[in-house]
Structure 1
Amino acid sequence: MANHDTKAYLVGAGVGSLAAAVYLIRDGHFPGKNIHIFEEMNITGGSCDGTGSAEKGYVLRGGRMLNDEAYEYTWELLKFIPSITDPQISVRDEIIAFDKKVQTHAKARLVDENGKIVDVSSMGFSNKDRMDLMKLTISPEDALKTYTIEQFFSPSFFKTNFWYMWATTFAFQPWHSAIEFKRYLNRFMHEFPRIHTLAGVTRTPYNQYDSIILPIIKWLGGQDVHFEMNCKVTDLDFKPSQKEKTIERIHYLDAGKQKEITIHNTDLVFVTNGSMTEGYSLGSMTSAPRLGSKGASFTLWENIVRKQPDLGTPSVFTDHIDKSLWESFTVTCKDPIFFDLMEKFSGNSYGTGALVTFKDSNWFMSIVLAYQPHFINQPENIKVFWGYSLFPNNIGNYIQKKMSECTGEEILIELCSHLRFHKHIPFILKTSNCIPCMMPFITSQFMPRVRTDRPEVIPKDSTNLAFLGQFAEIPDDVVFTVEYSVRSAQMAVYSLLKLNKEVTPINQHQYDVRILFDTFITSFR
């Protein structure tokens, strides 16, 4: 437990830091006024964002898949946070009630080059594919080392219905880490039999920023937690020691002015080292986004490693932008025509479908139409949908340009052409605002790596330092999820405060005989 004078300093206002602040207060009985969260931007939530207006257009850089059976930490946390719309119930209860009301069952998961819905009742595996999958799921991570997915499977595997669906659900590329792919296969094995409908996806009433982040921010604000916005942490100083890792000073920029904080003996420091949305750039209907570069969080990690070389290898994740980037786009519609056409095409009313992936798209494009309104401040006459492409540096099928060079208007033309909405394109362009978003590091956490390339949540010999988020090492769990960040927060707080509380265990679905049997049967469909 913390004493009355202990202070906690959290670098970054993403999900990891927000969850850590909740755990500090709830389980560590930390005074909220002693918690300081530093954020270089003017908005909280990190990569779990959602912003905009009907006039200027809404923006979602990305979306995180939630799962009722694999998000043990997230649901445990959200059971404690009151809903904004109804403070008498928890955020968890609100999400479950909504998910029961608006159930997901995709009828148009894949679309072919002719604009026809693909029959995905079969996974499309060969016997070799089945054997390779089985071999990967039982291979020790130390044996896999820096193997990529494409080194483990034959080229035909990447033409199966399974790959098209699994890859776009979780944003995997063939050159990504076989270890991370294995973790996903095990962690979400219970989703394998329903990957073609995505019926296991748990949806929030609004976008995840409005439904999850805002309630946490409101609760933390009520506890007098300090949010130091527009403050960029640049470096940490360690006490000279051969045996311990102890932070003694934080350096940061506040409105461009260099400042520092002295860390006292009982104080704690939590660092989000790296960000998947770092260096992002937005375009518009008339302009393409630019390609950004490293920013504050990766640079801070590099500065830490210069002083403590055993705290990871940032370059493994930052030096391969060509393999870690993709591009998303958010479309604000002033007329429901696109939604009406999609409902007729897919057989799903909005909110009940899932990712619609154009498997033969040169950009490997997918879109999803969420339940409306998708933003708390969204007018009734406005509709919003989101999409993304895994190959933005390829030339389009209809627009003869790389997606990365395209305006929002050109992206909409490419999308509508895949759907054969040709005659409606002029009106859709006139009544829509498509904002593209380029993210150079969005899947950098999937890059091939070994265990020591990411620091442990509590590094060896640390007395007051913990790492949070997607670039900390957590055995068995999967990055690119809200769950991973929340898990790192609970582990960090319980360990640094030496709380006599059990860390929530991971559901080991790969050892459930019923799930194994269902997966086996599905692989032969």
Structure 2
Amino acid sequence: MNTHKETNNHAYFIGGGIASLAGAVFLIRDGGWAGERIHILEDRPVNGGSLDGSGNAEQGYVIRGGRMLNEPTYECTWELLDSIPSIDSPGKTVKDDIYAFTEKYPTHAQARLVDKDRNIVDVEHMLFSNKDRLDLGKLLVTPEDRLGKQKINEWFEPEFFETNFWFMWATMFAFQPWHSLVEFKRYMIRFMHEFPRIHTLAGVARTPYNQFDSIVLPIQKWLESQGVRYERNTRVTDLDFKPDPTGKSRVTAHRIQVVKDGNTGSIAVNPDDLVFFTNGSMTESSDLGSMTSAPVLGEKGPSFGLWEKIAAKLPGSGNPSAFDDHISESKWASFTVTCKDPMFFDFMENFSGNKAGTGALVTFKDSGWLMSVVLAHQPHFRNQPEDVQVFWGYGLFPDKPGDFVPKKMSECTGEEILTELLSHLKLAEKLPEMLENSICIPCMMPFITSQFMPREAGDRPQVVPDGSGNFAFIGQFTEIPDDVVFTVEYSVRTAQTAVYKLLDIDKKIPGMYHGNHHAKVLFDSLVTMVK
């Protein structure tokens, strides 16, 4: 194993999301690097990327999305979090905290789908036709290279998208019919063990708080204790490359162009320094609205913009256009509601049969917006008062009109979103009370499922491009064979891969779990398919 403790080498992470934070941990833990030689360059004033969580009871809390974890398929994530000390339980790790919390509050949803008449749908049966079953079976045995850039709706019949399975699967993972068939197949294989219990989401692991407070904050505190340097409000505008003067590789990164606090500058990079770039961001250019204003649909920001510059001059850097030029197909809207009255939580717990934190997404399957809400265990934020409750929701069809509010969800204020939600629940008489005691903050995310867009080989760059001496891509828009994007696991695995490869670390990365390799999982899945 190579170690770099005694050298003057520096490592630069462009982007402060979970991939960069994880990469910094691996550099210190497995590469022997001193923390003060690691720099995390982040455009925003906070780290965490898409694993966010902010706000207060007075102005309202915000989480742009909720990240569900899974025990078998988050191999690298659990190994990472088992290295990070808990900030709540002395002598324990973050992994210990999450496992203990999940055991104490197991998920078993009893109201996964709700119809237009507010009836809880019986979802024990997937409602597959024989053709659906044949199509699923055929997909699982078809090699990826034969699927190419096909979309999901080019493989399945229209009726497939009206099954209980599709409503649950699509809203659990945020798939659209026009998304990548290859990615859908990967999900079916990686999460095959969840198929028989998809109606309850019993396999979901939860964090005690939102993912920023439960995952990002402990990692960040540990990295700070190691001396890692955070360069916030620092936008990287370009990255320069040149032939490797040592002759050990084809090309190296040698200069990072930055704008920090409005001032233009650059960082010189030596051939033995390391540069890790999170190319693209699912929450880039997201915008928040308020109770009285709708969020604004944004355009490409610094992460995709930098990726496009690098792709134009460094062969093997992928094709960002496959992902960032399809906003109409990759956007959706979410909303976070801060309640200062228990009315809504009391109703939902009685209606669903689940105490907050033990259910899962409640999806209004007939809603124009395909809206879902989820009530987490409270408190969901570390600074949340006891008499305040927070829940989150989203809509997969933000450009369709509501059933009660005749507007696109993307054009709705927080007040209008609450109006639509309570109307679906037949609680219109409670609307004045809800509006008086709640803050709903909508969020528009133009690229939230851009990583699901149809792609072909080469559109996503290898983690370490061929011939690169000191540069790696990390995050959701790189290529890790067989693994699935839109997961914390994918970002962590790319970071671990990048660090181990660039440092030639002789340590095995945790292998991937594939349900189709287990006889019981296969049998249980087949039984579910024929229900």
* TM-score, reference length from structure 1: 0.99
Write out aligned runs for 1:508-523 (5 A): 508-523=514-529
Residue 240 of structure 2 aligns with an amino acid whose one-letter code is D
Q: Which runs of 5+ in 2 are unaligned?
A: none
SS in 2 for 1:453: coil
Displacement after TM superposition at 1:117 (Å): 0.4
- For 1:174 and 1:61, the matched residues in 2 are separated by 23
Residue 44 of structure 2 aligns with an amino acid whose one-letter code is M
- For 1:482 and 1:463, the matched residues in 2 are separated by 27
- For 1:492 and 1:521, the matched residues in 2 are separated by 40
* Equivalent residue, structure 1, for 2:170: 167
SS in 2 for 1:251: strand
- Matched-pair contact (CA < 8 Å) for 1:277–1:439: yes
* Equivalent residue, structure 2, for 1:312: 318
* Equivalent residue, structure 2, for 1:422: 428
Partner residue of 2:343 out of 337, 343, 366: 337
Write out aligned runs for 1:166-245 (5 A): 166-240=169-243, 244-245=250-251
* Equivalent residue, structure 1, for 2:23: 20
Q: Is residue 63 from structure 1 mapped to residue 66 from structure 2 by the alignment?
A: yes
What is the CA RMSD across the aligned residues, in angstroms?
0.9
- For 1:519 and 1:406, the matched residues in 2 are separated by 40
Q: Is residue 272 from structure 1 mapped to residue 278 from structure 2 by the alignment?
A: yes
Q: Is residue 99 from structure 1 mapped to residue 102 from structure 2 by the alignment?
A: yes
Deviations 1:24-43 (A, max 9, x none): 00000100000000000001
- For 2:251 and 2:462, the matched residues in 1 are separated by 13
Displacement after TM superposition at 1:420 (Å): 0.9
Q: Which runs of 5+ in 1 are unaligned?
A: none
* Equivalent residue, structure 1, for 2:360: 354
- For 1:309 and 1:409, the matched residues in 2 are separated by 49
* Equivalent residue, structure 2, for 1:437: 443
Q: Is residue 471 from structure 1 mapped to residue 463 from structure 2 by the alignment?
A: no
Residue 526 of structure 2 aligns with an amino acid whose one-letter code is F
* Equivalent residue, structure 2, for 1:497: 503
- For 2:30 and 2:226, the matched residues in 1 are separated by 14
* Equivalent residue, structure 2, for 1:246: 252
* Equivalent residue, structure 2, for 1:50: 53
* Equivalent residue, structure 2, for 1:398: 404
Deviations 1:316-351 (A, max 9, x none): 101110000000000000001000010111111111
Displacement after TM superposition at 1:402 (Å): 0.6
Residue 263 of structure 2 aligns with an amino acid whose one-letter code is K
- For 1:358 and 1:26, the matched residues in 2 are separated by 45
* Equivalent residue, structure 2, for 1:143: 146
- Matched-pair contact (CA < 8 Å) for 2:192–2:514: no
- Matched-pair contact (CA < 8 Å) for 1:167–1:173: yes
SS in 1 for 2:507: coil
- Matched-pair contact (CA < 8 Å) for 1:4–1:31: no
- Matched-pair contact (CA < 8 Å) for 1:451–1:473: no
Displacement after TM superposition at 1:245 (Å): 2.5
Displacement after TM superposition at 1:487 (Å): 0.2
Write out aligned runs for 1:438-453 (5 A): 438-453=444-459
Partner residue of 1:262 out of 261, 264, 268: 268
Q: Is residue 324 from structure 1 mapped to residue 330 from structure 2 by the alignment?
A: yes
- For 2:284 and 2:366, the matched residues in 1 are separated by 29
* Equivalent residue, structure 2, for 1:118: 121
Residue 225 of structure 1 aligns with an amino acid whose one-letter code is V
- For 2:420 and 2:124, the matched residues in 1 are separated by 27
Deviations 1:462-519 (A, max 9, x none): 1101111000110000000000000001100011000111121101221111100000
- For 2:506 and 2:149, the matched residues in 1 are separated by 37
* Equivalent residue, structure 1, for 2:378: 372
SS in 1 for 2:521: helix
Residue 69 of structure 1 aligns with an amino acid whose one-letter code is P
* Equivalent residue, structure 2, for 1:8: 11
* Equivalent residue, structure 2, for 1:455: 461
- For 2:214 and 2:316, the matched residues in 1 are separated by 38
- For 1:518 and 1:36, the matched residues in 2 are separated by 47
SS in 2 for 1:96: helix
- For 1:365 and 1:63, the matched residues in 2 are separated by 14
- For 2:218 and 2:71, the matched residues in 1 are separated by 19
Residue 100 of structure 2 aligns with an amino acid whose one-letter code is A
Deviations 1:37-76 (A, max 9, x none): 0000001100110000000100000111100111000000
SS in 2 for 1:451: coil
Question: Percent identity between the aligned chains?
Answer: 61
- For 1:33 and 1:66, the matched residues in 2 are separated by 31
- Matched-pair contact (CA < 8 Å) for 1:305–1:311: yes
Residue 254 of structure 1 aligns with an amino acid whose one-letter code is K
Displacement after TM superposition at 1:453 (Å): 0.2
Displacement after TM superposition at 1:180 (Å): 0.4
Residue 59 of structure 2 aligns with an amino acid whose one-letter code is K
- For 1:215 and 1:316, the matched residues in 2 are separated by 35
- Matched-pair contact (CA < 8 Å) for 2:18–2:51: yes
Partner residue of 2:35 out of 32, 35, 39: 32
Displacement after TM superposition at 1:12 (Å): 0.4
SS in 2 for 1:343: helix
SS in 1 for 2:255: strand
- Matched-pair contact (CA < 8 Å) for 2:191–2:514: no
- For 2:514 and 2:287, the matched residues in 1 are separated by 38
Deviations 1:89-131 (A, max 9, x none): 0000011111111111000000001111000010010010011
- For 2:200 and 2:373, the matched residues in 1 are separated by 14
Displacement after TM superposition at 1:308 (Å): 1.3
Count of equivalent residues? 525
Residue 424 of structure 1 aligns with an amino acid whose one-letter code is K
- Matched-pair contact (CA < 8 Å) for 1:233–1:252: yes
* Equivalent residue, structure 2, for 1:291: 297
- Matched-pair contact (CA < 8 Å) for 1:365–1:389: yes
Displacement after TM superposition at 1:240 (Å): 3.7
* TM-score, reference length from structure 2: 0.98
Displacement after TM superposition at 1:256 (Å): 1.3
Residue 171 of structure 1 aligns with an amino acid whose one-letter code is A
- For 2:439 and 2:416, the matched residues in 1 are separated by 11
Deviations 1:256-310 (A, max 9, x none): 1111111112100000000000010000000000000100000110110111143
